[in-house]
Amino acid sequence: MDFAFLDKYWLTFLKGAWHTLELSFFGVLLGTVLGVVFALMRISRLWPLKFAASVYIEIIRGTPMLVQVFIIHYGLTSFGINLTAFMSGVIALTINSAAYMAEVFRAGIEAIDKGQMEAARSLGMTRGMALRHIVLPQAFRNMLPAIGNEFIIIIKDSSLISVVGISELMYTARTVQGSTYLPMEPLLAAAALYFVMTFTLSRLMLWLEGRLRHS
């Protein structure tokens, strides 16, 4: 195999990896915030909120992400909504991540001993205050491994965003394939960068999990 093309295209691959990290960061960050909202809706005593959150989660988890990307980037143009490729990618990753994060947060919240909520309420806290100050901080620490796994999944799933033309890592590999006429080597270079990103993130999450457990 000939990897001499990296002398010319290594910077292009690094830019693609950076765009992948940007997409993944905003997707997970916004998806986490939105996931908390839907998780609270799922455990709400108001059935319209619970029903709406359940419908959203089931629809998003039950449809391919690629279809969601096409709907957001191309389908919304029927309503006069024209989004940039980057914005479409962030929105697609956000709504997809939110559905999975909602279930992670819901499970994490429900795993906290009910006595925690009862004790907080007995001290005069409202249900919202108890969730914000007592339940969610404990749940977040327990859910940190799942959040890290979701980040890793989003990094890999971001390769699907290449279909709308954003120059993330997979799009870069396909572009270099066309320029160099090399079928395998650019894909292996992209795979190596994906591995470096996900492996580094997994080690970082393990370190952070250990620090939180120690504290």
Mean pLDDT value across the chain: 88
Q: Classify residue 113 by burial, with Cβ atoms within 10 Å: 0-12, 13-18, 19+.
A: exposed
Q: Which of 42, 213, 27, 31 is CA-nearest to residue 131?
A: 42
pTM of the model: 0.86
> What CATH architecture does domain 6-214 belong to?
Orthogonal Bundle (1.10)
Count CB atoms within 10 A of the CB of residue 1: 7
* Composition of the chain by helix, strand, coil, percent to 5: 85, 0, 15
The structural domains of the chain, with segments of one domain joined by +, span 6-214
Q: What's the pLDDT tens digit per position in 2-21?
A: 788 888 999 999 999 999 99
Q: How confident is the model at residue 118 (pLDDT cuts 50, 70, 90)?
A: confident
Q: What's the pLDDT tens digit per position in 49-68?
A: 999 999 999 999 999 999 99
Count CB atoms within 10 A of the CB of residue 112: 17
Q: Which of 115 and 191 is assigned the larger pLDDT?
A: 191
Count CB atoms within 10 A of the CB of residue 123: 10
Q: What's the pLDDT tens digit per position in 164-210?
A: 888 889 999 999 999 888 889 999 999 999 999 999 998 988 888 77
Q: How far is CA 136 from the centre of its chain?
A: 19
What is residue 215's predicted lDDT score, i.e. its pLDDT? 60
